[in-house]
Amino acid sequence: MTITLARSHTIYSMKAVESAQERARALKSPELEAFYDNMLELGAERFVTTPSSTGALDPLYEDCPNFGEVLDDLTRYLGLSIAGGAGVNVMPVLLLGDPGVGKTHFGKRLAAVLGTEFEFISMNALSAGFVITGSSSTWKGAKCGKVAERLVRGKFANPVVLLDEVEKATGSTQSDPMSALYQLLEPETSRAFHDEFIDVDLDASQVFWVLTANSLDGIPPALLSRMAIYEIPTPTPDQAAGIARRVYVGLLRELKLQNMDEDLDDSVLDKLSEVSPREMRKALLDGLGYAVAAGRASLAPEDVRLKADPCKRKIGF
């Protein structure tokens, strides 16, 4: 049996927050002062979670079967953590693969099995730098970045933070998202992460970083050197069939359709293997509606009505 173990980790200095709050009062910034009030009320301690067994990752081998290489490495790192009684020491992970292979889904499932929180940040935006580091409190509409918000308002010091499409990151000279990553992806410098809005150092060294990209083009070599890179393949037909079965069974339980057959015919699986998991879920949900309306207890091929899109190529999980 696997349980989640948790220890306490200090995210910020309470004295530093009190000093910053005094500065906010002098600047007559009620929004910033309220944020510091919240930080003091929540306290500086957050949980760092570690599963008690490497078996915690076993469900991901079935749920994300095309992520075997990265899961093998994570299993070894988790084993080292359990043996030494320390936190999981993992380099930032870059998942490289075509759209639809399941990179974001993997990040969400990883957070779930680790017993921590998940934060999604799209890097395909002009304001990506501000989204990560926050904006100066002197600016109109200023607010903290997503990293600081997760660490301050969340319960965990080791959330899984997924940076999506990192190769498409853009920004201005005042807010270069890549410059923020140089600090955050290094264990030593991330211990004193400075959010522009909060103006208090935060310890982001426990964050589990997962980055996704469709290509290495546009990612600086110096940044790549800070990450473990994994090429994620499209699922094989057998893997896609397994994913479809799990999505289907999950829907039956979610909808409490106890009279429906839990097995899917091979002809149904063949049709579903052409679409992504998100499309699988919608296709199966619609198909169940057609089957129930027809008074059948099993899904037939004609129930799975995939919408043709001539501009869309086949994608995997």
Closest by Cα among 190, 92, 91 to 133 = 190
Domain extents for the chain?
Answer: 4-231, 237-303
What pLDDT does 85 receive? 77
pLDDT in the model for residue 172 = 52
What is the C-alpha to C-alpha distance for residues 2 and 56, in angstroms, rounded to an integer?
Answer: 6
Q: Which residue has the higher pLDDT, 150 or 171?
A: 150
Top pLDDT among 200 and 276 is at 200
Kindly report the average pLDDT of the chain as a whole number. 88
Confidence (pLDDT) at 237:
86
Burial class (CB in 10 A: 0-12, 13-18, 19+), 179: middle
CA distance 171 to 103: 24
> Quick one: what percent of the chain has pLDDT higher than 90?
62
Euclidean distance between CA atoms 146 and 160, whole angstroms:
12
Residue with tokens 């110096």: 222
> What is the biggest distance separating any 2 CA atoms in the chain, rounded to whole angstroms?
70
Per-residue DSSP letter, 232: P
Q: Are 21 and 36 in contact (CB under 8 A)?
A: yes
The reported pLDDT for the residue numbered 208 is: 96
Exposure b/e, 214-238, CB count within 10 A at least 16 = b? eeeeebeeebeebbebbebebbeee
> Above 70 in pLDDT, residue 316?
no
Window from 29-43, 223-237, 297-311 with minimum mean pLDDT:
297-311
Q: For residue range 188-208, what is the model confidence (pLDDT) as tens digits? A: 899 999 998 898 999 999 999
Is the pLDDT at 309 greater than 60? The verdict is: no
State pLDDT tens for residues 88-147: 778 999 999 988 788 999 999 999 999 999 999 988 764 556 788 887 777 776 788 999
The runs of H, that is alpha helices, within the chain are: 14-27, 30-42, 58-63, 68-84, 103-114, 128-133, 146-153, 177-184, 221-224, 237-255, 266-272, 277-293
d(CA 118, CA 135): 22
Given a cut of 50, whether residue 314 has pLDDT beyond it is no
Identify the weakest region by mean pLDDT among 53-57, 59-63, 136-140, 240-244.
136-140
- Phi, psi (degrees; rounded to nearest 5) at 288: -65, -35
Would you state the pLDDT for residue 168? 85
Query: For residue 315, what pLDDT is reported?
Result: 44
Answer yes or no: is pLDDT of 30 > 90: no
Statement: residue 67 has pLDDT above 80: yes
3-state helix, strand, coil in the chain (%, to 5): 45, 15, 40
The mean pLDDT of 51-64, rounded to a whole number, is 94
CA torsion, ordered 169, 172, 173, 176, to nearest 10 deg: -30
Cα–Cα distance between 209 and 232 in angstroms, integer? 17
Q: What per-residue confidence (pLDDT) applies to 169?
A: 80
Topology, domain 4-231: Rossmann fold (3.40.50)
Given this model, what pLDDT does residue 44 score?
A: 98
pLDDT for 86: 74
Total residue length of the chain:
317
pLDDT band at 313 (very low <50, low <70, confident <90, very high): very low
Instruction: Note whether 126 and 175 are within 8 A (CB).
Output: no
Say how many CA atoms lie within 13 Å of 31 toward its Cβ: 11
Which tokens sit at 303?
């129930």
